[in-house]
Amino acid sequence: MSGEAALEQRIGEWRTFFGKRQAVQSADIAELEDHLRSSIDALRAAGLDEDEAFLVAVKRLGNLDSVSREFAREYTERMWKRLVVEPAAGEASPTSQRDAKLAVGLAIGAAVAMKVPELFGMRINEDSNPVTQHFYAHNIPFLILPFLALFFAIKRSLSARAWLLLSIPFVLGAILTNALPFVMNGNTEALTIIHIPIALWFAIAVAYTGGQWRNLDQRMNYVRFSGEWFIYLVLTALGGGALIAFTFFIFEAIGIKAEPVVERFIGPCGVAGAIIIAAWLVEFKQNVIENMAPVLTMLFTPLFTLLLLVFIGTMIATGNAISVQREVLIGFDLLLVLVLCLLLYSISARDSNAAPGKFDKLRLVLVLAALVVDVLALWAIIARISEFGWSPNKTAALGVNILLLVNLGWSAVLYVRILTRKAPFVVLERWQTTYLPAFAAWAWIVVAIFPLIFKFQ
Amino acid sequence: MEINKDLVAASATPLVLAILSEGDSYGYAIIKRVGELSNGELAWTDGMLYPILHRLERNGFVKAVWGESEAGRRRKYYQLTKAGAEHLERQRRQWHLVDNALRGTGAPRPHEDRAKEEDSHGG
């Protein structure tokens, strides 16, 4: 390598190293780099070679820690808000601006799409006819989620193959949910409506991962994204709630009822837009702010462990069994999914090379407790099925419970192996990411196969 | 002669403003000028100049503009503002006052001065 090239490389390394500091922004680095280069030029003119000049110039620039500490003192706000939507002066990045435009454009697109059915006389209000209600119940995901998929498809410049793969679930799902002759308000219809968004969410992974959905690391990234997206959506919804409350309040003050506008426009369009904007925010800030999902996981893992242990203890002490009603079954499924999420998000943020610690033991207890609860719920469902036969709801609950049982069971085995240092932590991460398609497959089975098996009841 | 750290820090602002009052300049050239003016006795850590410049910019004493160096690199130039010139004038008067007061106590011999300073550092 020539001396010049080596020098460029070392300056590049210096830039990266300096850029890791939170208080320093790219404009500051550019300014100091100009200084460094001026200094190097002067030293070389004085007869030093590239290497010597670089070393002396860096030394004169001073210890990067103390320099960035001075920057931090000067710019205390930088330690806080690194998520400014307006780029700071001198560091406008074309990609982030392009993303912003894309996200806002697609959010508007989703909001408009929510209103398109009205052009065909489909209005949402209390006295809308059953056909309209039916239409919205089935199609809201298809009005919003394609825009979310588009956001990532465009951002990641998908290949033609990936575009095709991404569009199949959307087309197939839309045909299935609209064309199948469901018995009005039957169980299979309700199950399809619940599972369509889940099934589409897994399809969006194709776009998010840029077509590399087979890659396990990419899958984990999608898991991280999903958790953050949900949190951002909740936060955006809080803001939206405030907006709606004030809309009511200020128009009430001048004697105008705002309900129709809120119900017809602000509500539905706001939700559609927020879903896209939340995704963009997650993308935008991912390098900047610590992920929230793992932080919440850390807080709630001990509490949920305690809850499950006390619950099991109470069941043993009282001898009361779980009652099998649809809401109860759904509730328990959600609880187990939540336990799985606690596990998944703690894995997503854990350094896979770190030695197992106290929290890992706690998570094993959580998984074991969840397994016990899962078995109890399964037992109740099977008892019910053997008594009254198979129904769509019970079959769906049974399927999810078995999926979770297998997942949590093997997770427990792996966790024991990790804690006894027989296996590296990575095996658990790999198990979870390998398993994700099973959930996707189940969602699609419920959407596509259940109606046929249960004759659209 | 080694100059006390606090004194270096306190003199940095007026010195930078004074150098900018000679004409627009940029970080590296300011450091070089400080060396010339003090015959190399005032040695700053180069990197520390920039937080100072940025603080002056924030207070409105200097204005920063991105330009280009002779070699075509991006370079940030600083320019003294009216507020900066006024601030410099106030600082000059203060330093003058301190200097006058010190002179008024009679001129001590240089080596005595040195010994006192070493004493105050606790030997």
Q: pLDDT digit string (tens) for B24-64? A: 999 999 999 998 898 888 878 888 899 899 989 988 899 98
- ipTM associated with this complex: 0.78
List chain A residues with CB under 8 Å of B55: 74
What is the per-residue pLDDT for B89? 94
What is the per-residue pLDDT for A78? 67
If one counts the domains in chain B, the total is 1
Q: What is the Cα–Cα distance from A155 to B90, expressed in whole angstroms? A: 55
Which residues span the domain enclosing B107?
5-120
For residue A191, give both structure tokens. Answer: 């199950």
CATH number at residue B102: 1.10.10.10
Q: What is the Cα–Cα distance from A425 to A168, expressed in whole angstroms? A: 36
> Is any Cβ of chain A less than 8 angstroms from the Cβ of B26?
yes
What is the per-residue pLDDT for B97? 93
> Is any Cβ of chain B less than 8 angstroms from the Cβ of A39?
yes
Mean per-residue pLDDT, B84-108: 88
> Is any Cβ of chain A less than 8 angstroms from the Cβ of B33?
no
Q: Which residue did the predictor score with more confidence, B70 or B113?
A: B70
Is B46–A71 a contact, with Cβ atoms under 8 angstroms apart?
no
Q: Is the pLDDT of residue B93 over 90?
A: yes
Q: What is the Cα–Cα distance from A259 to A1, expressed in whole angstroms? A: 71
**Contact between residue A456 and residue A177 where contact means Cβ atoms under 8 Å apart:** no
DSSP codes, A89-102: TT---HHHHHHHHH
**Contact between residue A195 and residue A443 where contact means Cβ atoms under 8 Å apart:** yes
Which A residues in the span 325-354 are in contact with B, Cβ-Cβ below 8 Å? none
pLDDT, tens digit only, all 457 positions of chain A: 577 888 888 888 888 888 777 778 888 888 889 999 999 999 999 999 888 899 999 888 888 888 888 887 777 766 655 544 444 444 446 677 888 899 999 999 999 999 888 888 777 766 667 778 888 888 999 999 999 999 999 998 889 999 999 999 999 999 988 888 888 778 888 888 889 999 999 999 999 998 888 888 889 889 989 988 999 999 999 999 999 999 999 999 998 888 888 888 888 899 999 999 999 988 887 666 667 888 888 889 999 999 999 999 998 899 887 776 767 877 888 888 899 988 888 888 777 777 778 888 899 999 999 999 999 888 888 888 888 888 888 888 889 999 999 999 999 999 999 888 888 888 888 999 999 999 999 999 999 888 888 877 7
Chain B residue at shortest CA distance from A36: B28
> Is any Cβ of chain A less than 8 angstroms from the Cβ of B47?
yes
Is A30–B74 a contact, with Cβ atoms under 8 angstroms apart?
yes
Crossing angle (nearest 10°) for helices A267-285 and A216-253: 140
List chain A residues with CB under 8 Å of B40: none
DSSP codes, B54-104: HHHHHTTSEEEEEEE-TTS-EEEEEEE-HHHHHHHHHHHHHHHHHHHHHHH
Number of residues that make up chain A: 457
Chain B nearest C-alpha distance from A223 (Å): 40
What is the per-residue pLDDT for A283? 86
CA dihedral A113, A119, A124, A125 (to 10 degrees): 150
Could you give the strand order of the β-sheet that contains B62-68, starting from the edge strand earlier in sequence? Answer: B25-26, B74-80, B62-68
Chain A nearest C-alpha distance from B10 (Å): 15
Predicted structure pTM score = 0.69
Chain A residue at shortest CA distance from B26: A35
Chain A nearest C-alpha distance from B59 (Å): 11
What is the per-residue pLDDT for A86? 47
Q: Is the pLDDT of residue B123 over 50?
A: no
Chain B residue at shortest CA distance from A27: B76
Q: Is the pLDDT of residue B83 over 60?
A: yes
> Is any Cβ of chain B less than 8 angstroms from the Cβ of A64?
yes
List chain B residues with CB under 8 Å of A17: none
| Dihedral pair phi/psi, residue B25, rounded to 5° | -155, 180
List chain A residues with CB under 8 Å of B71: 37, 41
